[in-house]
């Protein structure tokens, strides 16, 4: 029987609610991946991606696979066997970077911070002093497992000042908070479609600086992945109408991504960031009125991903289940070290809107009361409303 999904409100760590305009673009008739009209779409998509990343990088494209493949593409192209890479870990995805470095046959020097804390710049400086010949510094700009943002500008500058490449994971960052690839001087930056771009999951936008591109061209060893080899991918995504066939592009997914980027451009980057911030503040006001607290300290919080401590005595899975069953509302569980200890409430892209904040606060209030927490009914929604009024 055909699959008819329930209509959810997606406020987990991604995928986020997809704008109906994007679903409509997704379903347009498929054309060939070498069709002149498709080549035109590719050119426009590249320009829109350069806008989203704030970069003039020629090597800017959507990879035909999810964000984890974007991460792998950064490492397998820039790192060679025997290299040393300084990897900052303050959550799940720094750990995945370590895996990637090691599978390339390189050594990962780990800079570890607590889950829920930002990457400590001083520790990274120390690692640079200890490993001055490291090839790259890799870090997660927006940690999806904890809701933390780290100082990408400072970390990329450290790398550049010491002649190292910077590899930046901003899967959850792009379009939700400032991503300034050229301003940072970042060398490899990758993201995902299913977070603050509010597109369907499956692609990974990425960009490489000219410095990174030179390194890829001058490698001593071949890139270990044929599918992710940027020397080959560029033959298809490069300039001009003579595109060399590499693999069949996910045509319809690219229709969707083009539409998502267009929506972002129409709103404007700064407006998108401001919207994420204001809905975050309203949610925070509601959560606090429910007696809940955020895991991350204020200056390091991602507005688009709110890690909330589960109060003692509360069955966190039962709360999520009630939200899903009674409100068709998805929020996320904790991941890794934080499993069972936090909820992750996403306000990403199209999902970052006042009606979602209100729904979530109402639903959480009901679920917490159901768990025998004593709460002042209605206080949370009043706090949310007051916050929105104050911001006007």
List Cα–Cα distances, 49 to 89, 333, 376, in angstroms: 27, 31, 46
Gap between the Cα atoms of 61 and 46, Å rounded: 6
Nearer to a second copy, 65 or 373 (CB): 65
Supply the Cα-derived Rg of the chain in whole angstroms. 21
Near a second copy by CB under 8 A: residue from 43, 51, 54, 66: 66
Longest dimension (CA), the chain: 67
Near a second copy by CB under 8 A: residue from 50, 57, 60, 64: 64
Mark residues 173-212: x for contact with a second copy by CB under 8 A, - for none: -------------------x-x-----xxx----------
Gap between the Cα atoms of 353 and 284, Å rounded: 14
Q: Of residues 107-166, which lie at the interface with a second copy (CB under 8 A)?
A: none
Minimum gap (Å) between residue 5 Cβ and a second copy: 5
Burial of 337 (C-beta count, 10 Å sphere; 0-12/13-18/19+)? middle
Near a second copy by CB under 8 A: residue from 50, 90, 100, 207: 100
Contact stretch for a second copy (CB under 8 A) within 60-68, 309-317, 370-378, 380-388: 60-68
Minimum gap (Å) between residue 40 Cβ and a second copy: 8
- Buried b or exposed e, range 198-209, using 16+ CB within 10 angstroms: bbbbbbbbbbbb
- Regarding 225 and contact with a second copy (CB under 8 A), the answer is yes
Nearer to a second copy, 89 or 278 (CB): 89
Minimum gap (Å) between residue 2 Cβ and a second copy: 6
Query: Could you tell me the two tokens for 361?
Result: 């606060």
In DSSP terms, 139 is beta-bridged to 168
Near a second copy by CB under 8 A: residue from 39, 51, 58, 99: 99
Nearer to a second copy, 93 or 273 (CB): 93
- Regarding 276 and contact with a second copy (CB under 8 A), the answer is no
Query: Is the Cβ–Cβ distance between 190 and 71 less than 8 Å?
Result: yes
Near a second copy by CB under 8 A: residue from 215, 258, 284, 301: 258
Gap between the Cα atoms of 304 and 216, Å rounded: 33
- Regarding 103 and contact with a second copy (CB under 8 A), the answer is yes
- Regarding 31 and contact with a second copy (CB under 8 A), the answer is yes
User: Collapsing DSSP states into helix, strand and coil, what is residue 291?
Assistant: coil
Residue labelled with tokens 């929105």: 388
Near a second copy by CB under 8 A: residue from 87, 136, 189, 335: 335
Nearer to a second copy, 14 or 91 (CB): 14
Nearer to a second copy, 160 or 197 (CB): 197
- Regarding 46 and contact with a second copy (CB under 8 A), the answer is no
Which residues lie closer than 8 Å to 290 by C-beta, 6 or more apart? 361, 364, 365, 368, 375, 379, 380
Q: Of residues 295-334, which lie at the interface with a second copy (CB under 8 A)?
A: 324, 330
Minimum gap (Å) between residue 288 Cβ and a second copy: 26
- Regarding 8 and contact with a second copy (CB under 8 A), the answer is yes
Burial of 8 (C-beta count, 10 Å sphere; 0-12/13-18/19+)? middle
Contact stretch for a second copy (CB under 8 A) within 29-37, 151-159, 279-287, 293-301: 29-37
Minimum gap (Å) between residue 224 Cβ and a second copy: 5
- What is the total count of residues that contact a second copy (CB under 8 A)? 73
Question: Whose CA is closest to 289, among 388, 390, 378?
Answer: 378
Gap between the Cα atoms of 213 and 314, Å rounded: 51
- Regarding 240 and contact with a second copy (CB under 8 A), the answer is no
């Amino acid at each position: 029987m055909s699959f008819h999904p329930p209509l959810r409100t997606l406020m987990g760590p991604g995928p986020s609610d997809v704008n109906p305009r994007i679903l409509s673009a997704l379903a347009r008739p498929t054309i060939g991946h070498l069709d002149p009209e498709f080549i035109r779409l590719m050119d426009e998509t590249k320009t829109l991606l350069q806008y989203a990343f704030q970069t003039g990088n020629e090597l800017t494209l959507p990879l035909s696979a999810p964000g984890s493949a974007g991460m792998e593409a950064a490492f397998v192209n820039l790192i060679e066997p025997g290299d040393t890479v300084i990897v900052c870990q303050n959550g799940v995805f720094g750990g995945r970077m370590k895996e990637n470095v090691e599978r390339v046959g390189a050594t990962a020097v780990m800079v570890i911070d607590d889950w829920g804390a930002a990457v400590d710049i001083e520790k990274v400086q120390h690692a640079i002093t200890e490993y001055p010949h490291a090839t790259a510094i890799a870090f997660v700009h927006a940690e999806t497992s904890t809701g933390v943002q780290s100082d990408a500008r400072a970390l990329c500058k450290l790398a550049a000042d010491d002649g190292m490449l910077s590899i930046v994971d901003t899967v959850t960052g792009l379009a939700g908070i400032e991503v300034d690839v050229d301003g940072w001087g970042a060398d490899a930056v990758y993201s995902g479609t299913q977070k603050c771009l509010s597109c369907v999951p499956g692609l990974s936008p990425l960009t490489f600086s000219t410095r990174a591109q030179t390194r890829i061209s001058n490698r001593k060893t071949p890139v270990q992945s044929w599918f992710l080899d940027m020397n080959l991918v560029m033959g298809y995504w490069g300039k001009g109408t003579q595109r060399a066939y590499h693999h069949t592009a996910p045509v319809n997914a690219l229709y969707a991504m083009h539409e998502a980027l267009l929506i972002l451009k129409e709103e404007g980057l700064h407006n998108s960031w401001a919207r994420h911030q204001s809905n975050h503040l309203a949610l925070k006001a509601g959560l606090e009125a429910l007696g809940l607290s955020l895991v991350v300290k204020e200056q390091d919080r991602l507005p688009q991903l709110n890690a909330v401590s589960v109060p003692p005595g509360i069955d966190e899975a039962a709360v999520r289940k009630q939200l899903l069953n009674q409100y068709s509302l998805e929020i996320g569980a904790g991941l890794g070290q934080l499993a069972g200890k936090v909820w992750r409430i996403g306000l990403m892209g199209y999902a970052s809107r006042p009606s979602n904040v209100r729904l979530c606060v109402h639903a959480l209030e009901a679920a917490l009361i159901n768990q025998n927490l004593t709460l002042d009914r209605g206080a949370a929604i009043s706090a949310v409303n007051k916050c929105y009024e104050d911001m006007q």
